Structure 1
């Protein structure tokens, strides 16, 4: 079975999800050095910051890495320019269509892998010439869709002819085995990297991941059509209360302005956005990215399935 690592030129079929304010050169280079695909999250960055992160990542690793481009950002054109100018050969994309950029990206040898929440959009991406799609289930942390990972991956692998990468609620060798059994060619993981030594989040954030279980997260923003999964805290409780009162979107946004920064950099677990997926119940210690990858692959290789 040809897996996504062969297309990407990496050792393992493991992709690190792009997490805004988190997936910077420190984590990205560690993932790539450990045989996966590190992905710089350009969301919320200036064009110069993206260029700087690309160059810093190159200082730390000579292995492939990617840039995630949020296509709703005002500086998306300039970020695409930087990706091409800096010689990055892989991008993931979200929050919009890569159609306006596809021809130029392909002419410059860039592999394009959109992140999608359903098969309908995945088929559109295939039609545009995407090299693969990352189908993300609603178990994931951060911004999510409405379909669970297992039925989404099963449907996508049946409908598409390009490689499908599974995402959402995946963290170990069992997850990898399940995804490949459904026909996926690899996995993208985010939450599990939050507890690694190289991840540049606050110590309280990492501890929240370790302390959490499968019921620790809630989804806000469903009323506005922009659902986000976070660990439950005072801020999410207030947000959900306001949603039930049907307050304006502007009032809800006021509650969350700067909240991700507060969690990631300041360690505010009370009023910060502590984004994480439902898989946190399987994470119980801090380890290096290399240790994480070694354990995932070892568990996958020794996994024995029950006889039927």
Structure 2
């Protein structure tokens, strides 16, 4: 167990981490280097399985173990065609924590729990939160629409207290948390920790292209936009030529299939190739708060220090 920090919560106890901060499961971004970096810094690093084949995820898990002896997790995107195979890999590799998104993990819960895995589904509504608690989830990530990537409708400010009131398991808040003030705020709303994504994208340990990092660092408060509302699959990213073309096609009433063609491979294009014009530069609304590249350790310690200072000032 890590030495207790000034903001020790029951999430720290559950996950055996020093600080109540977990890293978001961001496809193409959250690989073993970032996950290990966050875990070494006192939080819970996450490897994003995305659509990757099971053997790729297994390799990422093993590489993370070479870089840290601290706990880390794997995020399983349940719509992936490889989800069932990855669900077995996390058992075989003795991954301590699994977070899930884009679906219902109930069919895997029994096996994961039997293997001693802590299961934390990502939810965007009270109804799903209650269902996940009944199914045996250990905690929840409640994600507001301020987050980057795939989002729900409710804001973090509205969503967190409603979910906290509806369930008895710990709630981790996601969406719009980018500094210590945000961390203090979600603790006041009843959450026991924060999931942070965009801030870690620009960390030293993050392998994303420098163009992507610089785009986030230079962004303003109004630079993110949501595409895909007409398809029922809204995604938040930073404005560029791709988002403009997508919104234009949406307004013209193009089909889901036609819209999907426009975004095929666009996230990888941005993250790995640095194409921030035609690629999908996923980032949350807090991108305008991010002003510099730092190590995971610096990010973590700065957020905790700011949160403690905010609370001591009486922002209660």
TM-score bracket relative to the smaller structure = over 0.9
- Give the corresponding residue for 2:92: 85
- Give the corresponding residue for 1:58: 65
- Give the corresponding residue for 1:151: 158
Change over 3 Å in CA distance of 1:301–1:266 after alignment to 2: same
Residue 3 of structure 1: how far off its partner (Å) = 2.8
Q: Please give the per-residue CA displacement for 1:42-73, whole angstroms capped at 9, x wherever unaligned.
A: 00211100000000000000000000111111
- Give the corresponding residue for 2:21: 14
- Give the corresponding residue for 1:231: 238
Distance 1:70 1:306 in 2: 40
Residue 305 of structure 1: how far off its partner (Å) = 3.5
Q: Aligned ranges for residues 22-37 of structure 1 at < 5 Å?
A: 22-37=29-44
Number of equivalent positions: 308
* 2:134 aligned residue (120, 127, 130): 127
Asked whether the 8 Å contact 1:213–1:279 carries over to 2, the reply is no
- Give the corresponding residue for 1:109: 116
Q: Aligned ranges for residues 255-270 of structure 1 at < 5 Å?
A: 255-270=262-277
Residue 138 of structure 1: how far off its partner (Å) = 0.1
* SS class of match (2:226): strand
- Give the corresponding residue for 1:240: 247
Asked whether the 8 Å contact 1:113–1:133 carries over to 2, the reply is yes
Distance 2:265 2:315 in 1: 51
Distance 1:99 1:19 in 2: 22
Unaligned segments of structure 1, at least 5 residues: none
Distance 1:26 1:65 in 2: 11
* SS class of match (1:230): strand
Unaligned segments of structure 2, at least 5 residues: 1-7
* 1:190 aligned residue (197, 200, 218): 197
Q: Aligned ranges for residues 69-80 of structure 1 at < 5 Å?
A: 69-80=76-87
* SS class of match (1:155): helix
Q: Aligned ranges for residues 259-298 of structure 1 at < 5 Å?
A: 259-298=266-305
Deviation above 3 Å: which 4+ runs of structure 1?
304-308
* 2:188 aligned residue (155, 166, 181): 181
When the two structures are superposed, what TM-score results if normalisation uses the length of structure 2? 0.96
Change over 3 Å in CA distance of 1:283–1:307 after alignment to 2: closer
Distance 1:120 1:307 in 2: 31
Segment of structure 1 superposing worse, 90-99 or 51-60: 90-99
The alignment yields a C-alpha RMSD, in angstroms, of: 1.1
Distance 1:38 1:283 in 2: 20
When the two structures are superposed, what TM-score results if normalisation uses the length of structure 1? 0.98
Segment of structure 1 superposing worse, 219-228 or 256-265: 256-265
Residue 167 of structure 1: how far off its partner (Å) = 0.3
